[in-house]
């Protein structure tokens, strides 16, 4: 397992590709493409770590996730600046309280690399929500005053872009609130910047268990090399790992790719959690598939790979409606207390519900009979 240090990940951040002319050192980019990239990055910045760019040069699916294109300049009829209605449920700067027992704490607005399909394009990368202790204290005060909050999801941006001391300030502050039982860290760092997962980081976070990691992976090509080592370090440190995947046209919208991704994650002790329908953020319609395609992929995973490796397919409803699961129709019809189901192979099987108010058909014989 490769060891990482602060200097390793600092060097990666210093070497990020951020401009069209820098990108042309690695890719054959025409003058027209350079102009398009520059125009797109004026709307939403580009940043790609050297580590991820090196992998993306050999993987079109990875490159599509981080490469700006002219498609981002097209605004779809259903596109929304704040597709999930987070600002409507914001109770303090960067603190979103939608569900009864949990809050979302946005600690910063920067990432190691920027996904072109980001649901928070309105704020991420724009220095609109920087980390400050003053802002964190406002958020802590709200959480302390609301004893129904037992679960805090730390997100951003990417929380692991914070230095260890700043991240510890957040986690320790939450742990000092008696009714906060669970802390989750949402991060794409193991895919974009695995060098950030250091022994020092893990040792610091271990002091504040239970901490769960909500990771983000979209393609099996992301689960290689140093990323695998970083995941092993987190798992060996005792952190439960879950993953979420965004369904993306031209990246992972086929059954074979999704199956392989989920199998690789499970081998790395990462439990697939959600497969998201792509949100209605501005300029990303070219990434969205139909829900029908998502259901096709779900049906192609369930029964064909371990149930433990199958994520729940969800649509995070626009304007703050929250997440709703979407599943294929396995229940075909019901006739009285008899239900007929379709299994993963398409075969039909019946299941009989209990007849609580009717006598049993027969009984076991008595012991002395």
The pLDDT tens digits for 64-86 are 999 999 999 999 999 999 999 99
Catalytic residue of the set 116, 120, 226, 259: 120
Options 114, 115, 221, 226, the catalytic residue: 115
The active-site residue out of 135, 150, 293, 323 is 323
Active-site residue identified among 111, 139, 268, 278: 111
% the chain with pLDDT above 70? 96
Peptide bond into 210 cis (omega under 30): yes
pLDDT digits (tens, 9 = 90+) for 22-45: 998 899 999 999 999 999 999 999
Distances (CA, A) of 120 to 89, 126, 192: 15, 10, 18
111 an active-site residue?
A: yes
120 is known as an active-site residue: yes
Q: Residue 158: what pLDDT?
A: 98
Mean pLDDT for 97-113 is 97
Is position 268 annotated as part of the catalytic site?
no
Tell me if residue 164 is catalytic: no
The band of 256, judged by pLDDT with boundaries at 50, 70 and 90, is: very high
| Candidate list 98, 188, 226, 264, residue with the active-site label | 98
CB-CB contact of 71 with 37 (8 Å): no
Among the four given CATH numbers 3.30.360.10, 3.30.70.890, 2.20.25.240, 3.20.20.70, the one describing domain 6-11+75-325: 3.20.20.70
Per-residue model confidence (pLDDT) at position 5: 67
Which helix (H) or strand (E) element contains residue 200? helix 199-206
| Total residues found in the chain within this entry | 369
| Overall average pLDDT of the 52-66 stretch | 97
pLDDT tens-digit map of 229-248: 999 999 999 999 999 999 99
| pTM to 2 decimal places | 0.93
Q: Where are the domains of the chain?
A: 6-11+75-325
Helix (H) or strand (E) holding 294: helix 291-301
Please pick, among 82, 218, 221, 279, the residue that the annotation labels catalytic: 279
């Amino acid at each position: 397992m490769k060891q990482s240090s602060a200097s390793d990940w600092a060097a990666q951040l210093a070497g990020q590709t951020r401009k069209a002319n820098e990108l042309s050192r690695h890719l054959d980019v025409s003058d027209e493409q350079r102009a398009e990239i520059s125009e797109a990055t004026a709307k939403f910045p580009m940043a790609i770590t050297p580590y991820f760019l090196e992998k993306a040069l050999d993987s079109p699916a990875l490159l599509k996730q981080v490469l700006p294109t002219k498609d981002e300049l097209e605004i779809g009829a259903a596109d929304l600046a704040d597709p999930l209605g987070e600002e409507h449920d914001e109770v303090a700067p960067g603190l979103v309280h939608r569900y009864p027992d949990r809050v979302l704490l946005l600690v910063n607005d920067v990432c190691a690399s920027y996904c072109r399909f980001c649901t928070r394009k309105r704020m991420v990368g724009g220095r609109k929500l920087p980390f400050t202790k003053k802002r964190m204290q406002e958020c802590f005060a709200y959480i302390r005053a609301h004893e129904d909050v037992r679960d805090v999801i730390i997100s951003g941006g990417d929380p692991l872009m914070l230095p260890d001391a700043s991240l510890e300030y957040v986690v320790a502050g939450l742990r000092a609130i008696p009714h906060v039982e669970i802390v989750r860290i949402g991060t794409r760092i193991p895919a974009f910047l695995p060098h950030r997962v250091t022994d020092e980081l893990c040792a610091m976070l271990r002091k504040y268990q239970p901490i769960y990691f909500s990771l983000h992976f979209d393609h099996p090509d992301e689960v290689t090399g140093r990323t695998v080592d970083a995941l092993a370090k987190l798992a060996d440190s005792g952190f439960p790992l879950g993953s979420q995947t965004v369904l993306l046209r031209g990246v992972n919208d086929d059954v074979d790719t999704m199956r392989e991704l989920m199998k690789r994650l499970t081998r790395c002790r990462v439990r697939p959690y959600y497969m998201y329908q792509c949100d209605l953020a501005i300029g990303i319609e070219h990434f969205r598939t139909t829900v029908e395609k998502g259901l096709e992929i779900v049906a192609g995973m369930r029964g064909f790979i371990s149930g433990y490796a199958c994520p729940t397919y969800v649509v995070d409803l626009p304007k703050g409606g929250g997440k709703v699961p979407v599943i294929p129709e396995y229940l075909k019809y019901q006739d009285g207390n008899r239900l007929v189901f379709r299994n993963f192979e398409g075969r039909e099987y019946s299941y009989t519900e209990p007849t609580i108010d009717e006598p049993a058909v027969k009984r076991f014989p008595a012991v002395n009979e």
